[in-house]
């Protein structure tokens, strides 16, 4: 089950069982400090003392509508004298990260503050502040709060999440089960995780640092003391940590935050291509394969062709179609992207300008193609999420493995 880590909100995913083959273990000699010599004992305490004041507990209060099909039946409502909409009060807790101490901006998850009327932020020292929601972006599950009258706050600096590697040590800091601030440690287990069916834009950092319900919106911190991710989801058969947690990359969260602060919302553009992973066509393992190019699109005008494989964007490696889609979808409209392409005749570099999304009839167009939601595969269920409309822009074409950008 994939759990959104806000108490009372759960998305369940039944996982397929995979057969794993392990090689013979190699012998490793553990290095234990000799306490008799007075050698310093390894500890993360100085780092923890420095970064934890920027991680806050978030308490929310609001009202949400009961989503019961019977309530939409006029005969049922009339017979039982039930109002057209029934709402219930919700009190929940989550986590957040102060990223701007002077202006009081806090990053958290959209699902932590969705549908709330009041938000209270509590620091590690127990100071309480009222906060307002500046803006939310459901496709990335990012929300930005602003603390009212921010005084004496400490912020956490952004790190470069694109520079993370599998095997890097990280700390997860949050408010699991409402217990209060908790620190756990682990490794970056994988990068670029997609296909969880959780958000429209997925590029998750996977970690085995213990993440539990209530950690949503909390910090994933590097050993440099920098924010590299925002905790967002876990996979668990029983609701607790089993060593598979997911965080939104800090670079993605930062781009979303900057647009929300500037305009109150996120404006997404397109370049007019359909993408798929190269391995699906038997080509090279990494990159983003151009499956289709929309006529008269920014991509066509820049010289992109069907069959091109994008290997870098703005001098950053592109590992998958989803990563390039995220890059385009989070770029500002009018921004120019430098793409390195692999073609049969060699390597080329093109510059393409991101254009506003267009509409074709009633369908929303992202990347020049009408997008429908990718339905969960057999054995997967999302009971607390309403069915997506036919024009939902989650970036996948129904019945294919293509993403649009």
Residue 10 exposed, middle or buried by CB count within 10 Å (0-12, 13-18, 19+): middle
Write the CA distances from 394 to 64, 162, 224, 373, integer angstroms.
Answer: 24, 22, 34, 6
Q: Alpha-carbon distance 267 to 393, whole Å?
A: 13
**Quick one: which H or E segment has residue 192?**
strand 182-193
Q: Which of 161, 216, 297, 320 is catalytic?
A: 216
Residues 246 and 234: their CA atoms lie apart, in Å, by 6
* Cα–Cα distance measured from residue 339 to residue 25, given in angstroms and rounded to the nearest whole number: 41
- Asked whether 337 and 324 are in contact (CB, 8 A), the reply is no
Catalytic residue flag (residue 342): no
Q: To which residue do tokens 């995979």 refer?
A: 18
Q: Which of 3, 95, 100, 141 is catalytic?
A: 141
State the virtual CA torsion across 38, 50, 142, 113 in degrees, nearest 10: 110
- Residue 216 known to be catalytic: yes
The DSSP symbol for 378 reads T
Q: Give the neighbor-by-neighbor strand order of the sheet with 358-360.
A: 358-360, 363-366, 369-370
Residues 65, 86: contact at Cβ < 8 Å?
yes
One-character DSSP codes across 138-166 = TTTTEEEEEESS--S-----B--GGG--T
Contact yes or no for 286/320 (Cβ under 8 A): yes
Active-site hit among 3, 111, 270, 342: 111
Looking at the DSSP bridge assignments, the partners of residue 14 are: none
Phi, then psi, of 122 in degrees rounded to 5: -125, 125
Task: Check if 141 is active-site.
Answer: yes
Longest dimension (CA), the chain: 82
Rounded CA-CA distance 211/199 in Å is: 18
Measure the CA–CA gap between 176 and 210, rounded to whole angstroms: 10
Q: Which residues contact 20 (CB under 8 A, 6 or more apart)?
A: none
Euclidean distance between CA atoms 243 and 260, whole angstroms = 32
- Catalytic residue list: 111, 141, 216
């Amino acid at each position: 089950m994939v759990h959104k880590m806000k108490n009372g909100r759960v998305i369940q995913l039944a996982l397929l069982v995979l057969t794993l083959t392990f090689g013979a273990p190699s012998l490793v000699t553990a290095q234990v400090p000799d306490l008799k010599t007075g050698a310093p004992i390894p500890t993360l305490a100085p780092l923890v003392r420095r970064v934890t004041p920027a991680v806050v507990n978030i308490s929310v209060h609001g009202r949400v509508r009961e989503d019961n099909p019977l309530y939409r039946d006029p005969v049922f409502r009339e017979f039982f004298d039930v109002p057209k909409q029934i709402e219930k009060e919700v009190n929940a807790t989550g986590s957040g990260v102060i990223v701007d101490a002077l202006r009081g901006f806090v990053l958290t998850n959209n699902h932590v503050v969705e549908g709330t009327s009041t938000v209270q932020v509590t620091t590690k020292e127990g100071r309480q502040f009222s906060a307002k929601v500046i803006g939310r972006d459901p496709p990335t599950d990012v929300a930005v709060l602003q603390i009212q009258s921010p005084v004496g706050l400490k912020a956490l600096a952004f790190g470069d999440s694109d520079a993370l590697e599998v095997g890097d040590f990280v700390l997860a800091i949050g408010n699991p089960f409402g217990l209060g601030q908790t620190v756990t440690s682990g490794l970056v287990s994988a990068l670029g995780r997609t296909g969880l069916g959780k958000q429209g834009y997925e590029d998750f950092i996977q970690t085995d640092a213990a993440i539990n319900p209530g950690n949503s919106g909390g910090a994933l911190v590097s050993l440099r003391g920098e924010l590299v991710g925002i905790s967002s989801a876990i996979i668990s058969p029983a609701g607790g940590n089993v060593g598979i947690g997911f965080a939104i990359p800090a670079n993605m969260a930062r781009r979303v935050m900057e647009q929300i602060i500037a305009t109150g919302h996120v404006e997404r553009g397109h370049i007019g291509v359909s993408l798929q992973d190269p391995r699906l066509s038997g080509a090279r393992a990494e990159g983003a394969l151009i499956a289709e190019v929309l006529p008269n699109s920014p991509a066509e005008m820049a010289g992109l062709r069907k069959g091109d494989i994008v290997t870098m964007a703005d001098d950053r490696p592109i590992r998958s179609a989803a990563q390039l889609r995220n890059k385009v979808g989070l770029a500002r409209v009018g921004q120019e992207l430098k793409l390195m392409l692999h073609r049969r005749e060699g390597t080329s570099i093109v510059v393409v300008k991101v254009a506003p999304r267009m509409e074709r009839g009633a369908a929303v167009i992202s990347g020049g193609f009408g997008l429908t939601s990718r339905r969960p595969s057999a054995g997967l269920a999302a009971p607390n999420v309403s069915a997506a409309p036919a024009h939902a822009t989650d970036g996948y074409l129904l019945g294919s493995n293509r993403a649009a950008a």
